[in-house]
Structure 1
Amino acid sequence: MHLSKRFILHRMSSAGSHALAGVALCLFAGSILSFSRVLVAAELPNFADLVEKNAPSIVEISTTRRVAARAPSPDSEIEELLRRLNPEDIPELEIEGLPEQRQRAAVGSGFIVSEDGYVITNNHVVVGADEIQVTLNDRRVFDAKVIGLDEPSDLAVLKLDATDLPHVAFGNSDALRVGEWVLAIGSPFGLEFSAAAGIVSAKGRSVPGRSSYNYMAFIQTDVAINQGNSGGPLFNLDGEVIGINSQILSSTGGSNGISFSIPSNVAINVINQLQETGRVERGLLGVRMREVDNALAEIFGMARPRGAFVDEAQPGSPAAEGGIQNEDIIVEFNGHEIEYYTDLPFYVGQYRPDTRAAVKLYRDGEILDRVVVLGSSPTNVVASTTPEVPRERANPLGFRVAELGEEARQISGLSGVRIAELNAGPGREAGLREGDVIVALNRREVNSTEQFAEIASSLPDSGFVPIRIVREGQATTMALEMAP
């Protein structure tokens, strides 16, 4: 009897000990889980303070421009259409012609960089605008004056008639590392002062852009950038502007997690020149170049592919005068390593004309040193703020073309026209992009916009038409399907 009681008590005590041990284990596991969550939360950045501090310096930019309206149909055509629809009741028609111009509105972003009202945005946001209005975070609205525009960098400087404005500071984009957190603030789709975060995906990206010139090495991020974000700032975690949002890569027009920003160190140089003189001066080397691939590296005895291969040092150019020859491989320009051929025009464009620049080049298995005095780039002209009324062309392809810039012809050795605006139609359906260079259409060579318009106006109404383009130095032929 006593043994049974002691046995029962022992079992109950053992069971209780196991239960307490289980509870303790659960509490311990819960504590570890909670502690882990705290650690993870501590590692993730809190953007709230950054947004609160810098949001007052962000602006929304609204532009209005007058564009040519389509020619109205003659009254006789409208009367004939109504007769066919209503043969028994023909009204007396007194139809006035449509207006010669109509207004088109657009929205972008920007940010204030000085207390006296200097604002930075993208060139493509404001170029050609008749009116520019800037809305501050506190809902005040100002008319903006254009101080300077620069198409190659896609940057613009505006001025507000105001004082004591909140403003942001630039950081060092060269110190930015792939994988770092970044934050964008802007007005996507007109949704004012929206914040989006992400990381730096890559640096030094060269992508097809709105300009014929290749003076940009973009910061690539996965931040959700959409229409309306253009011109807004990209912040690092210290609250410094290390980029200006400019482009996205998308098949739909919305964010696909691939966006491109202009590095702050490039922007500072451009902005300073625009504020001083209203224009940006860039140096010119005068070479036609291409990528050094594995085959070229092997042919010329390089350990690995790198540098810019000189297809042609143009006669009389600064390159030729400085001793650079055809088939040289430029591996360094004024202290900047040239890893990819697209690096060269980017670095050349950071220096002004008449700059003496040191060049290292590879020739016959040796590294040679040369000094060149940079010439003046054809981009060194004052950009016009006067809106251009596009000439209407008989073009059933759904895109508008523009002349290829003189320097683009010199650098690429191409003759053709570039796609300046792409709308719905056979071109978009075939996969064409803005910035593509058209060198042939329907097996006929294209050298000017007039020649393109002539060929486009005589295309068949249905069937497939070949179009030859050059994109990022690579030529390809696509098929345009004409609607019957």
Structure 2
Amino acid sequence: MSHPRLVSSRLLCGLLGCALGVGIVAASPMVWAQAAPAAAGLPDFTGIVQKNAPAVVHVEAKYSGRRPNGSGAMPLQGIDPGQAEIFRRFFGMPILPSPEEQAHTSLGSGFIISSDGYILTNNHVVDHADVVTVRLQDRRTLTAKVIGTDPTYDIALLKVDAGGPLPTVTIGDSRLLKPGQWVLAIGSPFGFDYTVTQGIVSAVGRNLGAGDQPSTSFIQTDVPINRGNSGGPLFNLQGQVVGINSQIYSDTGGYQGIAFSIPIDMAMNAVDQLKTKGYVTRGMLGVEIKPVDDDMVKALKLDSAKGAIVVSVSPDSAAQKAGLQSGDIILAYNGHDVLQGADLPPMVAMTKPGSTVPITILRDGKEKTIDATIGTMPRDQSALSAMGKAMPSSGANALGLSVENVDASTRSQLGLKPGEGVAVANVTGPVAAQAGLQPGDVILMVNQKKVGSVEAFRTATAGVKPGDTVLLLVRRGDANNFIALTVPSSKDE
């Protein structure tokens, strides 16, 4: 597939005839009048853009060393270095830093949420940056302080001092969004500031799976989003921010019709906590769940595949104390239906720890409601670092992978016994990635100790710290192999 390329105005004129009068005739007012009704009923976004563009900012993060994997914007596809240099020299660098700077610079977008200079963007735009600057619509460039970050929601809160009040966006209610509604984005794709794109809400409540922000219930749109849009606002037709543009689904790295935004309600909940304590706490129920599939519907004689079935209950958790059991099907949580397994984690995460909520379950063919007092989810180590407490990753996080229990089908295919091994769900960091681990691999032993459940794996890796080497026995296909994972010490990073 060829990369998209910019077409110069001279070439465009040559193709169309332009002012040369070759095959192009100026349309009469009557022609334009006849064409106008085709646009009747379509929304006009100009008022929203004029009102809100001054509150959208361009974010630039610089790193003294190598950037973290996956952070920030990618190079602009389809423009060779010579073209990029022309744009940089004659138009004030609207696209990218120089090639030498690209390895140390991350570009994104953000928006001002309060007149005293608080700005929201994505965590992955500024993660581990040494210096963060924002450029306003009036071309002022201000140094920003990172007040706090939340990797789980991919949120970062910045603060600038502009010497006076700044324009702000209006925060809306993302819970009111429905598929089919118009939305638009303002941001800096590929460094082109204040680019406006529009589309519709494709879906709401979209969960991307256990390995990619399981606590986030995304807004899915078809608004064109590209590199550099990260952290920018998503507006409804009332000119209110309803989401933060965060991810795209793409085989090429460019926009292919599917974009995901973090609901603003979720983001503002994180903002309030980052302002007051510098980190975000979330609720935790303490269950491992799976979606209800067609086989379960047949076996359990259910009416539909609605809900989340409890696979296991963690000891001393909110779920255990409330009396939840393996085999229970959770149908509703705190008054909200659980239509599929992926619906539950964001609901629980948004619950304030210590709150007591009703949970409707199906047990032995009968519905019942139990009350659970929600616990506190362990904080991400990155959130602690954002508070200024330099705490290196430890335990399973340091290995750069997440695991899940082996399902019956996989166990049968690999010839494993019950209670033998855990499956790699996702590779989340460089340690596991460099060792060649892949999702689907089954870890049988950690430092020669057998592991047969997620809890057993966590226990076996609980003491892992920077500088340690962990020996794993891994089954891939019909072959076993020992793989050693060495966690870098702080001086190696």
Superposition TM-score, scaled by structure 1 size: 0.70
Equivalent residues in 2 for 1:94-243, closer than 5 Å: 104-162=104-162, 163-208=164-209, 213-243=213-243
Distance (Å, rounded) in 1 between the aligned partners of 2:135 and 2:440 = 40
Q: Which residue of 2 aligns with 1:439?
A: 441
User: Residue by residue, what CA displacement relative to the aligned partner does 1:80-135 show, whole Å, maximum 9, x if unpaired?
Assistant: xxxxxxxxxxxxxxxxxxxxxx9611101100011100000011111111110111
Give yes or no for the alignment of 1:47 onto 2:45.
yes
Equivalent residues in 2 for 1:334-483, closer than 5 Å: 334-379=334-379, 382-385=383-386, 402-404=399-401, 414=422, 416=424, 418-420=426-428, 437=439, 439-440=441-442
Q: CA shift at 1:223, angstroms?
A: 1.0
List alignment gaps of at least 5 residues for structure 1. Answer: 1-31, 70-101, 392-399, 460-464, 469-484
Q: CA shift at 1:454, angstroms?
A: 8.1
Distance (Å, rounded) in 2 between the aligned partners of 1:170 and 1:383 = 28
Q: Mark the CA change 1:341 to 1:451 in structure 2 (over 3 Å): closer, same or farther.
A: farther
Equivalent residues of 1:401, 1:420 under 8 A apart:
no
Distance (Å, rounded) in 2 between the aligned partners of 1:314 and 1:39 = 62
Q: Which residue of 2 aligns with 1:329?
A: 329
Equivalent residues of 1:58, 1:110 under 8 A apart:
yes
**Alignment size in residue pairs:** 383
Q: Mark the CA change 1:209 to 1:226 in structure 2 (over 3 Å): closer, same or farther.
A: farther
Distance (Å, rounded) in 1 between the aligned partners of 2:103 and 2:273 = 32
User: Residue by residue, what CA displacement relative to the aligned partner does 1:36-71 show, whole Å, maximum 9, x if unpaired?
Assistant: 8544312111122211111101001100112269xx
Equivalent residues of 1:249, 1:256 under 8 A apart:
yes
Superposition TM-score, scaled by structure 2 size: 0.68
Equivalent residues of 2:385, 2:391 under 8 A apart:
no
Q: Which residue of 1 aligns with 2:306?
A: 306
User: Residue by residue, what CA displacement relative to the aligned partner does 1:393-422 show, whole Å, maximum 9, x if unpaired?
Assistant: xxxxxxx995346xx769999564843469
Equivalent residues of 1:287, 1:410 under 8 A apart:
no
Distance (Å, rounded) in 1 between the aligned partners of 2:127 and 2:405 = 25
Q: Mark the CA change 1:34 to 1:356 in structure 2 (over 3 Å): closer, same or farther.
A: same
Equivalent residues of 2:441, 2:476 under 8 A apart:
no
Question: SS of 1:326's equivalent?
Answer: coil
List alignment gaps of at least 5 residues for structure 2. Answer: 1-29, 68-101, 408-420, 452-456, 479-493
Tell which has more relative contact order, 1 or 2 (C-alpha 8 A, sep 6+).
1
Equivalent residues of 2:197, 2:224 under 8 A apart:
yes
Question: SS of 1:43's equivalent?
Answer: coil
Q: Mark the CA change 1:356 to 1:426 in structure 2 (over 3 Å): closer, same or farther.
A: closer
Equivalent residues of 2:248, 2:260 under 8 A apart:
yes
Question: SS of 2:239's equivalent?
Answer: coil
Equivalent residues of 2:245, 2:261 under 8 A apart:
yes
Q: Mark the CA change 1:231 to 1:443 in structure 2 (over 3 Å): closer, same or farther.
A: same
User: Residue type matched to 2:201 in 1?
Assistant: V
Q: Which residue of 2 aligns with 1:24?
A: none
Q: CA shift at 1:439, angstroms?
A: 3.4
User: Residue type matched to 1:439 in 2?
Assistant: D
Distance (Å, rounded) in 2 between the aligned partners of 1:218 and 1:113 = 20
Question: SS of 1:125's equivalent?
Answer: helix
Give yes or no for the alignment of 1:266 onto 2:266.
yes
Q: Work out which of the two has the higher radius of gyration on C-alpha atoms and give 1 or 2.
A: 1
Distance (Å, rounded) in 2 between the aligned partners of 1:389 and 1:190 = 34
Q: CA shift at 1:210, angstroms?
A: 7.3
Equivalent residues in 2 for 1:82-101, closer than 5 Å: none
Equivalent residues of 1:183, 1:198 under 8 A apart:
yes
Give yes or no for the alignment of 1:287 onto 2:284.
no
User: Residue type matched to 1:52 in 2?
Assistant: Q
User: Residue type matched to 2:427 in 1?
Assistant: I
Distance (Å, rounded) in 2 between the aligned partners of 1:369 and 1:237 = 39
Q: CA shift at 1:466, angstroms?
A: 5.6
User: Residue by residue, what CA displacement relative to the aligned partner does 1:313-351 show, whole Å, maximum 9, x if unpaired?
Assistant: 122211011011110000111111100111111100011
User: Residue type matched to 1:419 in 2?
Assistant: V
Counting aligned pairs with the same residue, the percent is: 39
